[in-house]
Amino acid sequence: MNQGAAVLFDVFGTLLDVYSVTRRAEELFAGNGEQLARLWREKQIQYSQLRTMAGRYASFAAVTRDALEYSLEALKLNAAPGDVGRLLDEYKRLAPFVDVAPALARLHDSGSRLGVLSNGDSEMLETVLVTSGLHRYIDLVLSAEQARAFKTAPSVYALGPRALKVQPHQIVFVSSNCWDACGAAWYGYTSFWVNRAAAPLEHLGVKPSGVGESLSEAAEFVLQNTHQHGELPA
């Protein structure tokens, strides 16, 4: 690992702010934008997990649309023709968190191999990584569609070691979703939780190897453990 770490990042909520859709949601549904954005995200995660548990895979784009349409109905918001499409288009230009580009640049310059492992469809990921400008740092794009399941299914996490040709513990997996960081730890990754919201640890019987408030702390964790010590913590 002295030649550079292998690091995989979650995308939605970790590199890119899913709540950056709030501005457009507020434009379309004044006074309801924040509530719509939050319910949409909640149902998106819930639907992905329910489909995985039932073995009823659908593309992440379809799950995202279904979650949005449910949220509009639940909040009794009357969407004009084209409003659903306008909101879905926001996923093509989600804003990166301010700490993301500097952290990725630092890791990239260190010689680390950087990739993403996301629930998002390949086409969705390619588009939003280019639009956000983060593609310049990313060497590998792994989509859950390859496993026809969503995280926390082991088959999704298995994509990383298979592509990078190393053992799970030799990869740092970084996510701002604690359940995702825990799922990666279950699989055997060295996981890092970016806890931007100062939330409590999920009670799942497992802990990430590292926790911090920003992606810069994740980068520091990677560099300290792979360059100074030469190995990742077990």
Contact 177, 168 (CB under 8 A): no
Residue 191 pLDDT exceeds 90: yes
- pLDDT cut 90: percent of the chain above it: 93
Residue 155 is predicted with a pLDDT of: 98
The structure's pTM equals: 0.93
Residue 1 has pLDDT above 90, yes or no: no
- Ordered structural domains, the chain, with CATH: 6-16+94-228 (3.40.50.1000), 18-92 (1.10.150.240)
Task: Transcribe 35-100 into DSSP letters.
Answer: HHHHHHHHHHHHHHHHHHHHT----HHHHHHHHHHHHHHHTT--PPTTHHHHHHHGGGSPEEPTTH
Q: What is the pLDDT of residue 4?
A: 72
Could you give the CA distance from residue 21 to residue 29 in angstroms, rounded to a whole number?
12
Is the pLDDT confidence value at 233 over 50? no
115-159 pLDDT per residue, tens: 999 999 999 999 999 999 999 999 999 999 999 999 999 999 999
With a cut of 90, say whether residue 66 has pLDDT above it: yes
pLDDT tens-digit map of 205-218: 999 999 999 999 99
| 10 tagged catalytic | yes
Query: Which carries the bigger pLDDT value, residue 12 or residue 230?
Result: 12
- Choosing from 10, 83, 99, 180, the catalytic residue is 10
pLDDT at position 2, please? 40
The whole-number pLDDT of residue 76 equals 98
What pairs with residue 25 in β-bridges? none
